[in-house]
Structure formats: C-alpha cells, structure tokens
Structure 1
Amino acid sequence: MTKFSNYIFFFFFLLFSIQLSAQNKTVPKPLYDDPIYHGAADPVIIYNKAKKKWWMLYTNRRASIEDSTVQWVHGTRIGIAESKDGVEWNYVDTANINYRPDVGYTHWAPDVIEHKGTWHMYLTYVPGTFKDWNHPRVIVHLTSKDLKNWNYQSTLKLVNEKVIDASVYKINDTSFHMWYNNEKDGKSIYYADSKDLYNWVDKGKAIPARGEGAKTFYWQGKYFMIIDAWKGMEVYSSTDLLNWTKQPKRILEEPGKGKDDQAIGGHCDVVVSNGRAFIYYFTHPGRSKANPAARGSFDEKRSVIQVAELKFINNEIVCNRDEALTFKLK
C-alpha cells in the first residue's frame, strides 16, 4: 500500500469513527438537571417535528427554595428541555399554559400525545400553592400546535376531584385509553375511554394497587404499564389493555452506582426506538438509603432525570441502570 493510500485509508477510517460516535453517544449521569430550580421530575418525551428535536416536558419542582413543608412541590410550572438525540439535553423554557384561574396555581405531571396534527396535553392542576396535600386536584385537557403554547379545552369529569398523573395511549384514530391515579381510593389506578380525546367516559378501577405515574407502551408483542410504587417501579403486562398481570420483580428499586442515581427511580416515560426501549425516570439523589440528606434541605428535595435501557428476558422486563449505555433516538 502506498503512502497516499495510507492517508486515504486513515481519512475514511476517521470519518467512519466520527459518524459512528455521532450516531451513538454515551449517556451521562445524571441525564438532565433543571438549571432553574434543580427539581426536574415526571418527564414526558416527545419528538418535535417542527424543531426536528426531541422535547422533554417535566414538572419543574422548586427544590431550591427555602421550605420545610410541601409548598416547594406546589406553584410549579412545566419545564421544557430539548435534544437532537435523546442523550444531550438543554433547557429551553417553561410551557405557556393558558390555564391559571387561581392565584399560586400549580401544574403537575404532563402527558402529551399528537393526533391529526394537534398536540394534546393532559395536565394535573392544583388551585394554589399549599403547605399540605389536602386540596383538590383535577386533570385538564389542553391543545397546542407548537408544544410550547397551550390552550385550555376542558376539565375532565373523572371519578372525583382528587386525581393526578394522566397517561394516554392511542389505540387507533377513534379509540384512546387514559389511566390516572385516584387518590381517594388508596391511590389506585383508574382509567377512562375516549373516541376523540375531548370527551372521556370514566370506566372505574384498572389496577387495585397503590401507585402513581402510570406509563403504558407497546413492546415485545404486548402492552406494558410501569407504575411508580415509591419503592421502585411495578411492571404490569396485558394483551388487551384491560386485564393486567403484575410481574414479580420491580425495576429501579436497588440503588445504582452512577452519579445521582443511588435512590429509587420515580415517575417515568418510556420511548421505544429501533426495537429498543428506554426508560426516562427521576431520582432524588439526597434520598439514598446509604447516605440520606437532612430532611427539608436542598439536597433532600433536589431531583434529576436519568435514563436506562429496558431488556426483555425470560418473559419479564428487567433494567440494569448501571449498564454502560449508548444510543440515539430515531
């Protein structure tokens, strides 16, 4: 091989290496830390077609304010971060949600889907900034054309006015399921049906177990629902979205070894890309069992977003949060 040929070979090898690196980036830990209040939680991941980027909408908890009650998880807005690949995230802004009829209003836990060119958000709304949990919370429906500016459509008539954490799944163009947490019934999971995303019929209890932040997705030939049980994540499976079977083992219960990943995983979203499934979840780094932060301190309140890959082994979902991970969402 001539000297010139060696240069050509080296050039193409370097080009290939750069392209390969661009396609698959090593995931950092933590994945994302909100720069405003350092309290990112309850993420939902959506592809913004207009921006040609992935957007993450999340509850922007006010971890950095001085508070020894639960005011810091009230008065919250919905943060937005964006990414080209699902790995490197940058803060954008807060969502402009045109529903704030009460002073000190609170927005929690958005879920967002697209249907026929319109984005639909189902958002938990609390009418104030409170020091305790003894207040109404409802789920409101908003729509948007750009994922940033949201117009109020309705307040859903569900089982009562103590409901949170909507999760919507599109079966087809005329059939949708929603799951949510009924706080008055032991924080069990209820569900509702709709033919158009605007009119919902409550159907009652879906899963008679304590949990919140349900996320439903289709993968490996069946439906799965992952629920935050405050001691790791419970995993259920179904073939019809009505009858659910809980797998014996929880995921994201044991502490990880990565930075800010020593606590249990909470309220997640799942993105299936190229046959692989990625779970985006939040942790409270200061709430590790081995080294808990002082109660009410910034370190105890702070939360970050992490991501890990789900695997399907022996007919169960497993998740090794310490596995070295590289990917690029498609």
Structure 2
Amino acid sequence: MSAPLLADPLGGPTDPTVIRNEQTGQWWMFYTQRRSSDTGEGVAWVHGSRIGMAVSDDGARWEYRGVAKGLDPVNEHGPNTHWAPEVAWDGSQYHMYLTWIRGIPSTWAGHERRIAHLVGPDLERWSHQGFLELSSRYVIDAAVARTPDGLLRLWYKDEADESTTWSAVSTDWHTWTVEGQAIGGAPHEGPNVFELDGWFWMIVDEWRGQRVYRSDDGVNWSAQGLILDSPGSHPEDRQVGRHADVVVLGDQAVAFYFTHPEWDGSNDVEQQAGALRRSAVHRARLRVDDDGLLRCDRNVPADEPFIF
C-alpha cells in the first residue's frame, strides 16, 4: 500500500514532478514546499513557498535534498512564491516552467500569477529566462510535451477563464504562441500530459480525483472517468489524489500525487484547517486496459522499486 514517499521538513509537499537526472541516472522530485506551520494571516502559509527537491535511486526511497535556488529574476529579491514546477530535458539542457507570484500574499485573489521559464545544465543550477506571455496574467500549473505534429505544447490553468486548461505551442522552448482553451467544463487545475500505450493522456485535478482525457494527436481530447478518486488502503492515503505527475517507462507508468492524510473529507474549512495544511506525496500504478481506459492502482508496496 502506498506510504508517503518523503519526509519534508515543513510538512506540506504538494504538486510533485519527477524526472530522471541525465547526468547521474537518479530520479529527482521537485515539488511545492508549503509552509504548513506558518502563523501569518489568511492563506499566507500557501504562499512564500519554495521548491523542494528529493532524490531517489529506485523511486521508492527518497532523500530530501533542500530547495531549488536561483528561481527569481535578478531584480526580485523576495521572498516570493514558487508553485508547481514542470521540469523537462531537451537533449542538452533542462527547462523549468514555474508558477511565480510576487511576495507572500495573504489572500487568494488580488495578485497576478505568472509562469516563469528557467534553464539549467543540471538539476541544481537555474537561470531565469523571463515570463511567458500567455492568455492572462492569472495562470498556473504548467505541463509540457511534444505532440505528433512536431510542436512543443504547454498546457496550463487559466484562472481568468473560470479555471480551465489552455494550451500554447513552441518550436524552441522559449517563445510560446497561445492556441486557446484545450479543456473546458468544470473548474480544474494541474494538467499533466503523457504518452502511454499508443495514446496521449491528460489528467486534470477536479479536487475530487483526476479527470482523464485521451487523444491521438495531443490536440483534440475526449473525456473518460476519474482516477485517484477512491481511497487507497494505507491509513495516510484515504483522501482523493491531487495534482499529479506521471512518469512513463516503456509500457509502465507511475503517477506521483499528493493528498491530505489527516483530512476527514469535511468541507468545514475552519474545523479542518490544520488537517488541510499537512500533505504527503504518494505514488500509484497506471495502465491502459483492453477497452482503452486508463486504470489506476494506489496500493503500491512502500518498498517496491520504480520499475514494477
């Protein structure tokens, strides 16, 4: 059964993304490091976050590696807010697409949210390349993949468009042209796109599990059901899985997601305030069944290596 994967010193790891280190062969996890015990006003504890890092040889045992540095523009001394990194390798260097907010707001509304682009020769040194000009300045949660037409596509949540997923295209990782809304319907966040079993898949977080979409071209999507909506068997994996990242190796795939292990599912935010602050990262197996549906198994043994 899926036990929490890492011990974060601040108790609030969310929005994980996992990538193989091309130099060492290890797996690196980057995540939003929420400040779960912060005593500031309102939702200041969700802001002011840095990007935590953890490293693993096998995908099962993770060692905390501190926080990523160099993620602010040179003229921004902070502290600022960093959320939901997306990290990709282009064959010669790494790219990070990072949700960036100035300062430490105490409210959800009233401030811009932008996606910053960073590059680095390894996973420890980053150089800020500026901000992407997208459909609004209230955008978060980038995901990147190359689609069959040869273009790079970036999907993201546009909060100015009722929290739907939009897309943009690029030929060089740096300059992006907005295409428009990719996924509408119910509000959601955290898109993640991957290839598995001959299809492109997108999962988005509807806060009641991950909605699944399938595509043959990475452009046109058809909806399926939910995954990570049913509890796992581990006592700290009983709530819905949130904001996930999927890593594919051949015909195998694993989803890394976060959940709130102490939350009882209540909508009483005041009563559950403490429980909603603590989070944990878990993993689950993914497969495509004979009917072309994406299936999920949350009950991965804690010591089982990444290669199932």
TM-score > 0.5, shorter chain as reference: yes
Partner of 2:23: 50
Distance in 1, matches of 2:201 and 2:23, equals 30
Q: 2:91 aligns with which of 112, 116, 120?
A: 116
Contact 1:33 1:305 in 2 (8 A): no
Give, in angstroms, the shift of residue 50 of structure 1: 1.8
Contact 1:170 1:177 in 2 (8 A): yes
Q: Which residue identity lines up with residue 231 of structure 1 in the other structure?
A: R
Confirm or deny that 1:29 pairs with 2:3.
Answer: yes
Give, in angstroms, the shift of residue 198 of structure 1: 0.6
Q: Which residue identity lines up with residue 189 of structure 1 in the other structure?
A: T
Q: 1:243 aligns with which of 202, 213, 220?
A: 220
Q: Secondary structure at the match of 1:271?
A: strand
Write 1 or 2 for the structure with the bigger share of helix: 1
| Cα deviation code 1:121-148 (max 9, x no counterpart) | 0000001101111110000100001111
Q: 1:323 to 1:54 in 2, by over 3 A?
A: closer
Q: Secondary structure at the match of 2:19?
A: strand
Confirm or deny that 1:267 pairs with 2:240.
Answer: no
Give, in angstroms, the shift of residue 175 of structure 1: 2.0
* Deviating more after overlay: 95-104 vs 116-125: 95-104
Confirm or deny that 1:143 pairs with 2:119.
Answer: yes
Q: Which residue identity lines up with residue 284 of structure 2 in the other structure?
A: A
Q: Secondary structure at the match of 1:204?
A: strand
Partner of 1:328: 306
Distance in 1, matches of 2:55 and 2:235, equals 21
Partner of 1:61: 34
* Deviating more after overlay: 282-291 vs 76-85: 282-291
Q: What are the ranges of 5 or more consecutive residues in structure 2 without an aligned counterpart? A: none
Partner of 2:272: 295
Q: 2:199 aligns with which of 222, 226, 233?
A: 222
Give, in angstroms, the shift of residue 260 of structure 1: 1.2
Q: 1:241 to 1:288 in 2, by over 3 A?
A: same
Give, in angstroms, the shift of residue 28 of structure 1: 5.2
Q: Secondary structure at the match of 1:184?
A: helix
Q: What are the ranges of 5 or more consecutive residues in structure 1 without an aligned counterpart? A: 1-26
| Cα deviation code 1:279-318 (max 9, x no counterpart) | 1000011223289994322x33111100010122232112
Contact 1:261 1:283 in 2 (8 A): yes
Distance in 2, matches of 1:172 and 1:119, equals 21
Q: Which residue identity lines up with residue 31 of structure 1 in the other structure?
A: L
Partner of 1:125: 100
Confirm or deny that 1:104 pairs with 2:59.
Answer: no
TM-score normalised by the chain length of structure 2: 0.92
Q: Secondary structure at the match of 2:112?
A: coil
Q: 1:71 aligns with which of 41, 44, 68?
A: 44
Distance in 2, matches of 1:138 and 1:328, equals 33
Percent identity over paired residues: 37
Distance in 1, matches of 2:249 and 2:152, equals 22
Distance in 1, matches of 2:151 and 2:107, equals 37
Larger radius of gyration: 1
Residues 144-159 of structure 1: matches in 2 within 5 Å? 144-159=120-135
Confirm or deny that 1:38 pairs with 2:11.
Answer: yes
Distance in 2, matches of 1:198 and 1:42, equals 23
Confirm or deny that 1:318 pairs with 2:292.
Answer: no
| Cα deviation code 1:252-294 (max 9, x no counterpart) | 1122220310111000110112411111000011223289994
Q: How many residue pairs end up in the alignment?
A: 301
Distance in 2, matches of 1:262 and 1:288, equals 9
Q: Which residue identity lines up with residue 208 of structure 2 in the other structure?
A: K
